[in-house]
């Protein structure tokens, strides 16, 4: 029974464009009406009709502890008694900044914002301000939020709906963004040779999660570090997904590469709207009020968001968290692979730690072009079968599957049985 969800979607479309506040949620790519979610606990979501789902979207990444974790709920309950926003400095912000600086290797000053989009927009502005240059390099299929400069050949919903660039982004601005194939160091080198003097920054998801998950080839990230250094460009790691997901210190710690600036979001807010960007002291000193590059936010450092984020990061800072996640993720993704193989269905699994993707294709997916070659019809049938069996996946092949600490071996085993059934009977 999905009556309530269907009624809500119908009503939503009367008041909200497409019925949703973020495009991929509408489920258009997989041809479904989305379940409307009423509550969540651990790795389970319940829709408005009371149907439970095992959740592998994790709110698109943030819920690495699972939903409604008692520490996060306690922190929020305590914080809310003291008011919801002051627009003034607080102790919580200082604790948050201190914890980020201790956890993330390249950050020694950090500014909080309200979303990943704000983090990348601000980092790009800062990079342009510091270098006095205009152009930026990004990669096809990487998504860095919906800021004007970054909506060129972007991933996530932009990829799902096949939009190469968005109307509303001035051509003059789009022309300053150069988008290159991921994992192609030669293309980056060539671009630096041609435009090196005017490239302010190179921004990259160190492990892209928005064209589905793609794994950086050995030395790709190292190559980006070397090239940006020799052309005096700013290397920005967009760790909005990978931050606190791959390891305590994110992808930069995991791969041992030090970017100049880092963007954070998702996990850092513990489920509340938060982002952050940070880096070396001298770079961050160019920001107002000490410096001349302007950036601000009425609700930035909001006490509720800080409380939820801090509670989350404190748990992630404890021993064994990431080894547990890795072990469960290995069980999940290798189980998926065997189930598909047993059913004779060609799939490629890309995974780093607790983020991964299943592509219906038979050659390795190393960039956006490869991801786009996967079988969309097959994905749609797989998606629909899983949803019917009570498994909530991201409704697009260009998104990641995220595991959380709440996904027990038992739940994973159950999910793998459903997947085997989907592979056998529905595809």
Ligand X SMILES: *Cc1c(COP(=O)(O)O)cnc(C)c1O
Report the catalytic residues: 143, 238, 266
Rounded distance, CA 165 to CA 159, Å?
10
For residues 20 and 381, the answer to whether their CB atoms sit within 8 Å is: no
Q: 359: how many CB neighbours lie within 10 A of its CB?
A: 25
CB atoms within 10 A of CB 162: 8
The nearest distance, CB 247 to ligand X, in angstroms, is 16
DSSP string, 25-80: GG-GGGT-PPPPEEEEEBTEEEETTS-EEEESSGGGTT-TT-BT-HHHHHHHHHHH
Distant-in-sequence, close-in-space partners of 94: CB < 8 Å, separation ≥ 6: none
* Residue 205 touches ligand X, criterion: CB under 6 A: yes
The number of angstroms, rounded, from the C-alpha of 189 to the middle of its chain's C-alpha atoms is: 27
Residues 212-251 that bind ligand X (CB under 6 A): 238, 240-241
The only residue of 212, 259, 265, 270 in contact with ligand X, by rule CB under 6 A: 265
Decide: is 270 part of the binding site for ligand X (CB under 6 A): no
120, 302, 312, 401: which one contacts ligand X (CB under 6 A)?
A: 120
Taking residues 3 to 22 in sequence order and writing x for each that binds ligand X by CB under 6 A, - otherwise, the string is --------------------
Token pair for 369:
């072009």
Minimal distance in Å, beta carbon 79 to ligand X?
21
CA nearest neighbour of 40 among 30, 32, 51: 51
Total of residues contacting ligand X (CB under 6 A): 15
Q: Applying CB under 6 A, which part among 47-55, 138-146, 178-186, 415-423 lies near ligand X? A: 138-146
Stretch that binds ligand X, among 142-150, 227-235, 248-256, 380-388 (CB under 6 A): 142-150
Q: How far apart are CA 235 and CA 202, in angstroms?
A: 5
- Give the residue among 380, 416, 418 at the shortest CA–CA distance from 397: 380
In the shown chain, the binding pattern of residues 276 to 315 toward ligand X, with x for contact by CB under 6 A and - for none, equals ----------------------------------------
**Pairwise CA distance, residues 306 & 248, whole Å:** 18
Establish if 58 lies at the interface with ligand X (CB under 6 A).
no
Is residue 394 a contact partner of residue 60, using CB atoms and an 8 Å limit? yes
- By CB under 6 A, tell whether 47 contacts ligand X: no
Cis, bond preceding 399 (omega within 30 deg of 0): no
Q: Is 40 in the site for ligand X (CB under 6 A)?
A: no
Nearer to ligand X, 143 or 231 (CB): 143
Stretch that binds ligand X, among 46-54, 126-134, 140-148, 383-391 (CB under 6 A): 140-148
Please identify, among the stretches 97-105, 141-149, 321-329, 412-420, the one whose residues bind ligand X according to the rule CB under 6 A: 141-149
Classify residue 178 by its DSSP letter: E
Binding residue (CB under 6 A) for ligand X from 27, 116, 206, 397:
116
Q: To the nearest 10°, the Cα dihedral for 299, 236, 59, 96?
A: -50
Measured CA angle at 425 (ends 424, 427), to 5 deg: 85
Residue 115 binding ligand X, by CB under 6 A: yes
Our CB check for ligand X shows the closer of 58 and 117 to be 117
Report if residue 404 touches ligand X, rule: CB under 6 A. no
The binding track of 64-103 with respect to ligand X, each residue x by CB under 6 A or -, is: ----------------------------------------
Which positions lie near ligand X, rule CB under 6 A?
Answer: 115-117, 120, 143-145, 205, 209-210, 238, 240-241, 265, 275
């Amino acid at each position: 029974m999905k009556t309530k969800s269907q009624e809500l979607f119908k009503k939503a479309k009367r008041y909200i464009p497409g019925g949703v506040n973020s495009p991929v949620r509408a489920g258009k790519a997989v041809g479904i009406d989305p379940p409307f979610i009423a509550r969540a606990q651990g790795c389970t979501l319940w829709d408005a009709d009371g149907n439970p789902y095992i959740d592998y979207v994790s709110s698109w990444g943030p819920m690495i502890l699972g939903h409604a974790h008692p520490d996060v709920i306690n922190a929020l309950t305590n914080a809310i008694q003291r008011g919801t926003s002051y627009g003034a400095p607080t102790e919580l912000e200082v604790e948050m900044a201190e914890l980020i600086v201790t956890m993330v290797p390249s950050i020694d000053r950090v500014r909080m914002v309200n979303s990943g989009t704000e983090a990348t927009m601000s980092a790009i502005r800062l990079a342009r301000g510091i270098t006095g240059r205009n152009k930026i390099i990004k990669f096809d299929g990487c998504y860095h939020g919906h800021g004007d400069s970054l909506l060129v050949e972007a991933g996530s919903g932009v990829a799902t709906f096949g939009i190469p660039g968005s109307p509303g982004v001035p051509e003059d601005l789009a022309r300053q963004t150069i988008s290159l194939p991921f994992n192609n160091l030669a293309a980056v080198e060539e671009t630096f040779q041609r435009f090196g003097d005017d490239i302010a920054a190179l921004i990259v998801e160190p492990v892209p999660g928005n064209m589905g998950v793609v794994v950086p080839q050995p030395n790709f990230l190292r190559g980006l570090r070397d090239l940006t250094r020799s052309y005096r460009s700013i290397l920005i790691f967009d760790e909005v997904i990978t931050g606190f997901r791959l390891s305590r210190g994110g992808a930069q710690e995991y791969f041992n590469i030090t970017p100049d600036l880092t963007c954070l979001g998702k996990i850092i807010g513990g489920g509340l709207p938060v982002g952050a960007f940070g880096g070396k002291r001298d770079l961050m000193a160019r920001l107002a009020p000490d410096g001349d590059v302007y950036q601000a936010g009425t609700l930035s450092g909001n006490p509720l968001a800080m409380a939820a984020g801090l509670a989350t990061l404190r748990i992630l800072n404890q021993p064994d968290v990431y080894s547990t996640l890795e072990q469960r993720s290995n069980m999940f993704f290798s189980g998926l692979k065997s189930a598909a193989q047993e059913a004779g269905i060609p799939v490629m699994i890309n995974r780093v730690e607790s983020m991964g993707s299943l592509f219906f294709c038979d050659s390795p997916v190393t960039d956006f072009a490869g991801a786009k070659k996967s079988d969309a019809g097959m994905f749609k049938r797989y998606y629909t079968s899983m949803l019917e069996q009570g498994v909530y996946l991201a409704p697009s092949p260009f998104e990641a599957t995220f595991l959380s600490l709440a996904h027990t071996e038992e739940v994973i085993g159950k999910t793998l049985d459903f997947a085997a059934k989907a592979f056998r009977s529905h595809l």
